[in-house]
């Protein structure tokens, strides 16, 4: 009977051509250890077995000089470098919003301390209601960390964006600065009182912002009154922006209007959640 030997990677086996039984695989082999042989003058031979893993040496990175400083001093340095900035949001094409290159990588400790200094003192300024709505509905982590909100051109078109459910996503909000531009087109028409029906939309915005404990020293509600009646309005012409001065009539009414809006803004009223929303938060 003719025998044929076949060598495999796992060992050697023998097979008989006329035998249909299950093939028997010999796995009695020895695994090689991760060792290497280097020349050595010890003894009569030149071979010495050394473990490769014992030769590898990974240097421990030294901490930077910044992290050797006390935490209080380090926070002041990061606040000076990254804080007190104003970030302006405006609508743009998605292609233009794509960064040309990725930001450099930093370690977790530096990122955590730098972002804390940035979000605690920087202002996020919005001039368009659509930008604020898109920003608040995004899943970015900075939405819940925003603390200072500025709206430079507050109008009645903001009533659909500054609602309780949308503003409530800005959980860390502490400072709000609102500016409304009021055009005084008739010299004999006084500025409407705060309880006038024309300000109804602004009171809805104020009620939505009452769910936060705002800082009374930094928050403000500013009304800029422009005297448009002093100029001849021509189609396509740019009207000069002359603010209402203290010597002009109705100036005290504007100050009283600002005071009423500001008092309403600082009146803290916790937001009431429905049972379905409250159960999700738990």
pLDDT one digit per residue (tens) for the chain, 282 residues: 444 444 444 444 455 555 555 555 555 555 555 445 555 555 544 455 555 555 566 666 677 888 889 999 999 999 999 999 999 988 777 777 677 777 788 888 899 999 999 998 999 999 999 999 999 999 888 899 999 999 999 999 999 899 999 999 999 999 999 999 888 777 777 888 899 999 999 999 999 999 999 999 999 999 988 876 655 555 555 555 567 777 777 888 889 999 999 999 999 998 876 555 445 555
CA dist., res. 11 & res. 29, Å (int): 7
**Two tokens, residue 3:** 């025998």
pLDDT number for residue 173: 95
How distant is the alpha carbon of residue 109 from its chain centre?
17
Interior angle at CA 107, CA 54 and CA 175, nearest 5: 160
Contacts of 199 (CB under 8 A, 6+ apart): 192
Residue 236 gets the label, from left (phi > 0), alpha (psi -120 to 50) or beta, of left
pLDDT number for residue 273: 63
pLDDT number for residue 267: 94
CA nearest neighbour of 152 among 178, 170, 119: 178
pLDDT number for residue 248: 75
CA dist., res. 214 & res. 123, Å (int): 14
Is the entire prediction scored with pTM above 0.95? no
Domain residues of the chain, as ranges?
Answer: 122-277
Q: Are 6 and 13 in contact (CB under 8 A)?
A: yes
CA nearest neighbour of 8 among 20, 32, 25: 25
pLDDT number for residue 143: 92
| Angle, helices 108-121/71-82, rounded to nearest 10 degrees | 60
């Amino acid at each position: 009977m003719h025998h044929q030997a076949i060598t495999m990677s796992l060992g050697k086996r023998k097979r008989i051509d006329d035998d249909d039984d299950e093939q028997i695989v010999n796995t009695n082999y020895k695994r090689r250890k991760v060792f290497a042989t280097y020349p050595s003058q010890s003894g009569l031979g030149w071979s010495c077995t050394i473990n490769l893993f014992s030769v590898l040496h990974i240097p421990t990175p030294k901490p930077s000089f910044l992290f050797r400083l006390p935490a209080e001093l380090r926070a002041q340095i990061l606040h000076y470098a990254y804080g007190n900035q104003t970030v302006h949001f405006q609508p743009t094409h998605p292609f233009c919003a794509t960064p040309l290159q990725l930001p450099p990588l930093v370690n977790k400790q530096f990122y955590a301390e730098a972002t804390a200094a940035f979000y605690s003192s920087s202002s996020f300024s919005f001039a368009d209601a659509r930008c604020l709505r898109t920003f608040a509905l995004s899943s970015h982590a900075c939405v819940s960390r925003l603390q200072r909100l500025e709206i430079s051109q507050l109008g009645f078109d903001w009533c659909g964006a500054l609602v309780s459910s949308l503003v409530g996503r800005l959980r860390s909000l502490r400072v709000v600065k609102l500016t409304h531009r009021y055009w005084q087109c008739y010299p004999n028409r006084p500025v409407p009182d705060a309880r006038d029906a024309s300000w109804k939309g602004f009171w809805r915005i104020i009620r939505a912002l009452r769910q936060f404990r705002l800082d009374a020293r930094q928050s403000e509600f500013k009304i800029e009154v422009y005297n448009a009646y002093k100029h001849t309005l021509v189609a396509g012409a740019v009207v000069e922006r002359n603010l209402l001065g203290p010597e002009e009539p109705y100036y005290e009414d504007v100050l009283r209007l600002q005071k009423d809006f500001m008092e309403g803004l600082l009146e803290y009223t916790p937001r009431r959640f429905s049972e379905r929303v409250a159960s999700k938060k738990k």
